[in-house]
């Protein structure tokens, strides 16, 4: 893994011991697919990061500087770029130090293993409701970690998570769409969940209903897929005892449109 770290405008060699992202999870992050040293959806990720800093009243480093440092790090490679941003250092205690310079870190990672469809489970761990944080990709991911442990124990690929009221929200690391009665539907994220960049792209392509969904709604769907900005669009082949065909024409059409929009997903479409 190749890493570059910064405190404000200055490059640093390590994260500070009093960093608030480390101490309290006061942080945001973006995970971006890299194609031949380029970041095709950089603007979309920066828009979400900017929205997150506004919601949390966190400082945002200069976007031009972040982009230049990211491009220097990539050096023509394919892979995954992770950008982590914290408020920076501060005194002990929950109250934030408004004068601290933000800490940000860029790290380069290999692409995940190729997978064409997903074997999924229902996770027992639920997502807590907090409307002030709903939609944000913040650094507090303990619920997803517990859910991922369930997925690993079941030898599955992914797990679907509900909130405390029993509404389906998302997978552990992806957003969720279901084809029900001829219409794509995706969960409303007004109390929890991450509003993914890939989710926003899909919503711009199809006339999807953003609504509340129960597990029984999902199990009766004609097709289901998960999506994120690293793996793209992946059909769900199995959810517990429910099975679907490996491919569906509407999912295939969305994958083809994605390959046109983001060159990093062209090889995936050709191989499927």
pTM: 0.93
Closest CA to 139 of 88, 58, 84: 84
Average pLDDT, the chain: 94
For residues 124-152, give the mean pLDDT: 97
What is the 3-state secondary structure of 199-240? Answer: HHHHHHHCCCEEECCCHHHHHCCCEEEEEECCCEEEEEEEEC
At 77 the pLDDT is 87
What is the 3-state secondary structure of 64-96? Answer: HHHHHHHHHHHCCCCEEEEEEEECCCCCCCCCC
Q: Answer yes or no: are the C-beta atoms of 262 and 33 closer than 8 Å.
A: yes
Asked if the model's pLDDT at residue 268 lies above 60, the reply is no
Asked if the model's pLDDT at residue 6 lies above 80, the reply is yes
Q: Which domains does the chain have, with CATH numbers?
A: 2-109 (3.30.470.10), 118-271 (3.20.10.10)
């Amino acid at each position: 893994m190749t890493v570059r770290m910064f405190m404000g405008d200055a490059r640093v060699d390590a994260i500070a011991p009093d960093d608030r992202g480390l101490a309290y999870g006061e942080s945001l992050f973006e995970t971006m697919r890299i194609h031949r040293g380029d970041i095709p959806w950089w603007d979309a990720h920066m828009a979400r990061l900017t929205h997150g800093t506004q919601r949390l009243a966190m400082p945002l480093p200069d976007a031009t500087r972040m982009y230049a440092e990211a491009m220097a790090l990539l050096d023509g490679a394919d892979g995954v770029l992770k950008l982590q941003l914290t408020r920076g250092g501060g005194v002990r205690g929950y109250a934030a130090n408004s004068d601290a310079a933000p800490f940000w870190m860029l790290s380069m990672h290999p692409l995940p293993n190729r997978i064409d469809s997903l074997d999924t489970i229902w996770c027992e761990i639920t997502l807590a409701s907090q409307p002030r944080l709903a939609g944000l990709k913040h650094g507090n991911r303990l619920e997803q970690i517990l859910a991922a442990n369930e997925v690993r124990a079941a030898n599955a690929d992914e797990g679907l998570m509900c909130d405390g009221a029993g509404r389906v929200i998302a997978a552990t690391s992806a957003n969720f769409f279901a084809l029900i009665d001829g219409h794509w539907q995706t969960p409303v994220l007004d109390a929890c969940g991450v509003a993914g960049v890939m989710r926003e792209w899909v919503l711009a392509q199809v006339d999807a209903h953003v609504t509340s969904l129960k597990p029984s709604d999902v199990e009766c769907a004609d097709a289901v897929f998960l999506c994120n900005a690293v793996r793209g669009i992946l059909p769900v082949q199995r959810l517990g005892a429910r099975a679907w065909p490996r491919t569906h024409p509407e999912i295939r059409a969305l994958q083809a449109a994605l390959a046109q929009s983001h060159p990093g997903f062209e090889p995936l479409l050709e191989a499927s």
